[in-house]
Amino acid sequence: MSPKVAYVLDVKSGNLQSLQNAIEKVGFEFTLIETAAELRAAIASEACQKLFLPGVGNFGHFMRQINQLELREPILEYIASGKALMGICVGLQALFNNSEETNNLHDENSDENGLKLINRTLKRFDDTEKSVPEIGWNSVIPAPGTEAAVQGKDLYGISESRKYYFVNSYASILSKEETELAKQGKATEITGLKDCEISLTTYGSETFVSAISKGNVFVTQFHPEKSGNAGLKIIEAFLNGNKYTPAVAIPEGVKVQHGFTRRVIACLDVRANDNGDLVVTKGDQYDVRERQVDGSGNPVRNLGKPVEMARKYYEQGADEVTFLNITSFRNSPIADLPMLEVLRQTSKSVFVPLTVGGGIRDIVDPSTGKLVSALDVASLYFRSGADKVSIGSDAVYAAEAYYARGEKGDGTSPLETISKAYGIQAVVVSVDPKRVYVESPEAAPANIKVIPTKYPGPNGEKYVWYQCTVKGGRESRPIGVYELVRAVEALGAGELLLNCIDKDGSNSGYDFELIDLAKSAVAIPVIASSGAGVPQHFVDVFEQTSADAALGAGMFHRGEYTVNEVKSELMKNGIATRNDVG
Ligand code: 1PR
């Protein structure tokens, strides 16, 4: 029997915590390989039979890291040895010749070139018709004529009826002619794909290669470690050497909707209560204290324990879980060890993306008096199990500075430093705007985008602009949402979490005018937030806006509805969603 050990190559380009948790969850030990010497020793060792090559972020950076660590040759030697290799995301891309993501696409000697095992170039998705990056859940279908398709089996457990989590702006996109060839069962005739068994995914109008099995190498563009139980099955199948597994039976009456889905996110606002315990809370327009309590003041609303609630929502089918540490603008997150522990515990049992926000900025460590950079704070969150960090207040300051500099970054803001180090897909900007009503567009401050509103203000004002705030809505800033989101996209945000203080906790549905405004400004995905009160609100926001995801808090925390109920309502209304519980 082969030893139950998974080896993982650390190219020092991103965060391996989620993969470690997934490997341990399926009963294998996790062994990190950090140097060329260690990799060569692993090739020689009987104990090493399965190696992961995980990657996130920028292709050029990933390849440069491989070269700097002198790993290029040993990786090729490992593959030549015949032992099994599984690449994930940029770990798939590394097999290709090159990517449009690099600046040196045509330079034969560039240290950003791929391993050239697949003679193709990765291309960027067309962002005129869809959000880029692709962030979310999509189907992975074996190309017609491949062994898995012919046998009706699943390649390493990848099931057509399931969805998998993707985060990518670049992919091995097929041309129209290549897509046609693939449909005719001739995928091996496509340039570079001879000897490959491929699976395909469609995003917008583009079809790309989302998984490849070639000899002892198996690679996926999606993240199995973040794809719930469906993804854990793939990791398990790879580690157990089960190339073809019986196809997952689709229960009677269940209709599989193929394709990209809109996401449903459960959000947990977390803060210390008056006894110092971290609790999940929820406010009305950001006020999280109970009202009209006699005598002893207004305690923080306590809706439950963060780890337990996150697990519950995962089990109910939440596509992502977000924690917002809502008082860390006052406290230092590095002093907030319980929050780090919440992340550590949650990430061991929640295998969908975890985002954490609150207090991501340069700070002074209260225990040592030393400056800790926002990048270090983010790294601490990533090491504790977060997949993305969310920046609120500091992103507003960065956007203001961007305009003050004449629409330029200077590379020093937390938004820029974190997205440079971890990739834009790891950085969400959380926006906390308030409606400001005006009688006419001229009545608003200069250079602020004003829109007509269907919901006039208290004095009948027919126009509105959305003013950004910082410090949990306590301080308004002289910048509008439209201006802010354009700036943060340029500075390296990969996604927007679009709250709305007027709607927060109101149970009256999302603010579509705000969502349309943000979507018109950027190509990155937008998460609608604030105001969800019933499952129908999720249907409405997906039918009436192009929001990529929708987030709910109070309606889930108060136990009024479950995430499954939201998903059922979406399916009833023909909106593609991940139906993947269990
Ligand atoms: O500024 O980088 O330290 O980040 C602070 C983060 O904490 C920001 O993302 C900010 O939105 C959040 N925050 C700060 N104070 C509050 C508060 O409530 N007092 N919560 C707060 C914001 C908004 C949503 C909420 C939705 C959905 N919470 O996350 O969950 O509005 O609620 P609903 O579905 O019940 O309507 P920094």
Cβ < 6 Å from ligand 1: which residues? Answer: 267, 269, 282-283, 286, 288, 324, 326, 328-329, 357-360, 390-394, 430, 432, 472, 499, 504-505, 529-532, 551-554
**Mean pLDDT of all residues in the chain?**
93
Say which of 10, 196, 197, 223 is annotated catalytic: 223
Active site residue 269: yes
The per-residue pLDDT for range 332-391, each reduced to its tens digit, is: 556 666 788 899 999 999 999 999 999 899 888 777 888 889 999 999 899 899 999 999
For residues 554 and 530, what is the distance between their CA atoms, to the nearest angstrom? Answer: 9
403 alpha carbon – ligand 1 mean position (Å) = 25
At residue 510, the pLDDT reads 98
Topology (CATH) of 5-246: Rossmann fold (3.40.50)
Atom of ligand 1 nearest to the CA of 361: 2
529 alpha carbon – ligand 1 mean position (Å) = 9
* Residue 549 · residue 136 · CB < 8 Å: yes
For 509-575, strand residue ranges (E) read 526-528, 549-552
- Peptide bond connecting 74 to the previous residue in cis, omega within 30 degrees of 0: no
Active site residue 537: no
Nearest to 140 by CA among 161, 171, 168, 156: 161
Domain with CATH 3.40.50.880 in the chain: 5-246
The per-residue pLDDT for range 161-217, each reduced to its tens digit, is: 999 999 999 999 999 999 999 999 999 999 999 999 999 999 999 999 999 999 999
* Residue 347 · residue 405 · CB < 8 Å: no
Provide the β-strand partners of residue 456. none
- pLDDT < 50 positions in the chain: 582
Type and span of the H or E element at 451: strand 451-452
| ipTM higher than the 0.95 cut | yes
Q: Name, in order, each residue with C-beta under 8 angstroms of 404's C-beta and a sequence gap of 6 or more.
A: none
571 alpha carbon – ligand 1 mean position (Å) = 28
Q: Name, in order, each residue with C-beta under 8 angstroms of 375's C-beta and a sequence gap of 6 or more.
A: 414, 417, 418, 421
At residue 582, the pLDDT reads 43
Say which of 432, 483, 502, 504 is annotated catalytic: 432
At residue 581, the pLDDT reads 53
* Residue 266 · residue 559 · CB < 8 Å: no
> What residue's CA is closest to ligand 1, atom 16?
472
Say which of 10, 134, 269, 504 is annotated catalytic: 269
Active site residue 89: yes
Topology (CATH) of 263-431+481-572: TIM Barrel (3.20.20)
Active site residue 432: yes
Atom of ligand 1 nearest to the CA of 393: 1
Q: Name, in order, each residue with C-beta under 8 angstroms of 395's C-beta and a sequence gap of 6 or more.
A: 414, 415, 429, 430, 431, 484, 488, 491, 493
Say which of 38, 48, 89, 134 is annotated catalytic: 89
For residues 219 and 210, what is the distance between their CA atoms, to the nearest angstrom? Answer: 8
For residues 187 and 415, what is the distance between their CA atoms, to the nearest angstrom? Answer: 41
Atom of ligand 1 nearest to the CA of 391: 2
501 alpha carbon – ligand 1 mean position (Å) = 9
Eight-class DSSP state of 447:
T
The per-residue pLDDT for range 255-294, each reduced to its tens digit, is: 778 899 999 999 999 988 878 788 999 888 888 888 765 6
3-state SS string for 81-125: CCCEEEEEEHHHHCCEEEECCCCCCCCCCCCCCCCCCEEEEEEEC
> What residue's CA is closest to ligand 1, atom 27?
530
Domain with CATH 3.20.20.70 in the chain: 263-431+481-572
